[in-house]
């Protein structure tokens, strides 16, 4: 059997992570149960579903939407979402004529309490560099074509401020309840690289 190192290929990130965790556990530097609990928390309790609930509430409750746009952090905490990487979240709204897209040009600052862990493409240096210089082209390459009449604003997240996009509510969803709207809201729509799904 040929290993990846023997064949000249680098081991996958998952294998490297597993090996590192095993080494740190064997040396008593970490507790594997704590690591497992942390991962489970971000897979089940923290993630895009939280953000989708925030968006769906804003779509159906005008007063909540006002509070969300005025003070995102406080309004998000009203729904019980907060914690590390969510200390200061600013929410911006996409409209038919204005589109916001989020990037972190320095690293991968991201509002974990409402979006979970950042996807690989968000951390990619190519995305981080290009979306600032040519956002319309990058969005088109990711499947979102915006008309020339739509003004695009790139929001740069930092360790002090993390951005969340309130996407446009899809047409034809006026009859849907808050709970029924939640599945239409994707992580990518809350980053601004996609629109919310149609009903």
Q: For the segment 6-44, what is each residue's pLDDT rounded down to a tens digit? A: 455 666 666 887 788 788 888 888 888 887 777 766 665
4 annotated ligand binder: no
Calpha distance 195→198 (Å, rounded): 9
159 annotated ligand binder: no
Q: For the segment 43-75, what is each residue's pLDDT rounded down to a tens digit? A: 656 679 999 999 999 999 999 999 999 999 999
| Residue 5 confidence class, pLDDT cut points 50, 70, 90 | very low
Give me the active site residues, please. 104, 107-109
| Residue 147 confidence class, pLDDT cut points 50, 70, 90 | very high
Poorest-pLDDT segment among 56-70, 112-126, 170-184:
112-126
Q: Where are the domains of the chain?
A: 13-44, 50-191
Calpha distance 136→146 (Å, rounded): 7
109 annotated ligand binder: yes
32 annotated ligand binder: no
Residue range 50-191 forms a domain whose CATH class is: alpha beta
Contacts 24+ apart (CB under 8 A), 57-63: 57/178, 58/166, 59/169, 59/173, 59/178, 59/181, 60/177, 60/178, 60/181, 61/178
- Summary mean pLDDT of the chain: 90
Q: Whole-model pTM?
A: 0.80
């Amino acid at each position: 059997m040929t290993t990846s190192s023997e064949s000249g290929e680098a081991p996958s990130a998952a294998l490297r992570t597993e090996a590192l965790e095993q080494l740190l556990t064997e040396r008593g530097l970490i507790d594997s149960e704590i690591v497992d609990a942390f991962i489970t928390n971000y897979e089940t309790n923290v993630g895009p579903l939280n953000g989708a609930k925030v968006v769906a509430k804003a779509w159906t409750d005008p007063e909540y939407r006002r509070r969300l746009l005025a003070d995102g952090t406080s309004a998000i905490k009203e729904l019980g979402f907060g914690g590390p990487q969510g200390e200061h979240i600013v929410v911006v709204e996409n409209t038919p004529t204005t589109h916001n897209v989020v990037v972190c040009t320095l690293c991968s600052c991201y509002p974990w309490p409402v979006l979970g862990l950042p996807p690989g493409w968000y951390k990619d240096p190519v995305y981080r560099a290009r979306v600032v210089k040519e956002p319309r082209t990058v969005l088109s390459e990711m499947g979102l074509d915006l008309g020339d009449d739509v003004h695009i604003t790139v929001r740069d997240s930092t360790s002090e401020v993390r951005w969340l996009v309130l996407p446009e509510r899809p047409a034809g969803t006026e009859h849907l309840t808050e709970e029924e709207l939640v599945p239409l809201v994707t992580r990518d729509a809350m980053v601004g690289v996609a629109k919310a799904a149609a009903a």
